[in-house]
Amino acid sequence: MPTLPPFGLGTFRLQGQSAIDSVATGLELGYRAIDTAQIYGNEAEVGQAIAASGVARDALFLTTKIWTDNYAADKLVPSLKDSLAKLRTDHADLVLIHWPSPGGAVPVAEFMGALADAKARGLAKQIGVSNFNIELMRQAIAAVGAGEIATHQIELHPYLQNRKSVAFALGQGIPITSYMTLGYGAVLKDPVIGEIAAARQATPAQVTLAWAMQLGYAVIPSSTRRANLESNLLARELRLSESEMAQIAALDCNGRLTSPEGLAPAWD
């Protein structure tokens, strides 16, 4: 089973030609993990860029996420098959439940069971969850076992370090994927990160991504600019000192940026 790549390319908010160009450029620069979702409305564009890239499918790690409308046991697998058709592949390497079911309309056991069924059919190599709180994580583990959950993908950046959720997941052996690691760009203006970046002759984005990876989290930054895509890759070679890590740890202020009404659980 392929391990979760520590560094990938996110496609949230990328539409149409922007999505095609970002993925095409990323693949050209050496990105090999791509993260998309049904609700992003860009799976077909991601699939088009991959097909045109000439990169072999088995060299890629492709993640998509099931949207809340498709959680019922009779809908999840057909919706995933539709996603795979758009992505021009017969399987995803990782399929996540994107958000909790609004109002608990579909029980966790039902959609996790359907997700496990998708894996059993070979439509997904690995499965996982996103945007759960600890109680929902407990229910997901009860449904399929912690060993079946390849990652918990959550908003995580220097201003929102999500320590309770992280500690629970890691305690169960479930790796963390950080999304919005750059905090929509807000943390890139932070003077502490700026000072570390200047001292390291690095960019604030490189410092922030390196911080997350050094904590053991996978990251999936996105960009439409070739220079940023290229620069972000260099974060993989940056190692921060204990003092620098501690300075960034001290920036946590529970600064959550995404908590959509009707979707978000009661956060821990």
8 A C-beta contact, residue 176 and residue 218: yes
Q: Where are the alpha helices (DSSP H) in the chain?
A: 16-29, 43-53, 76-87, 108-120, 134-144, 163-171, 191-200, 204-214, 226-233, 242-249
How far apart CA 63 and CA 152 sit, in angstroms, is 13
The Cβ-side half-sphere exposure at 42, using a 13 Å CA radius, reads: 23
Determine whether 31 is exposed, middle or buried from the number of CB atoms within 10 Å of its CB (0-12, 13-18, 19+). Answer: buried
- Between the alpha carbon of residue 65 and those of residues 52, 128, 190, 223, the distances in Å are 23, 9, 31, 20
Q: Which residues are catalytic?
A: 40
Beta bridge partners of residue 63, listed in sequence order: 35, 94
Q: Which of 15, 44, 4, 26 is nearest to 225 (CA)?
A: 26
Residues 6 or more apart whose Cβ sits within 8 Å of residue 151: 4, 94, 96, 126, 128, 129, 174, 175, 176, 177, 218
CA 109 to centroid of chain Cα atoms = 22
Residues 6 or more apart whose Cβ sits within 8 Å of residue 211: 158, 240, 244, 245, 248
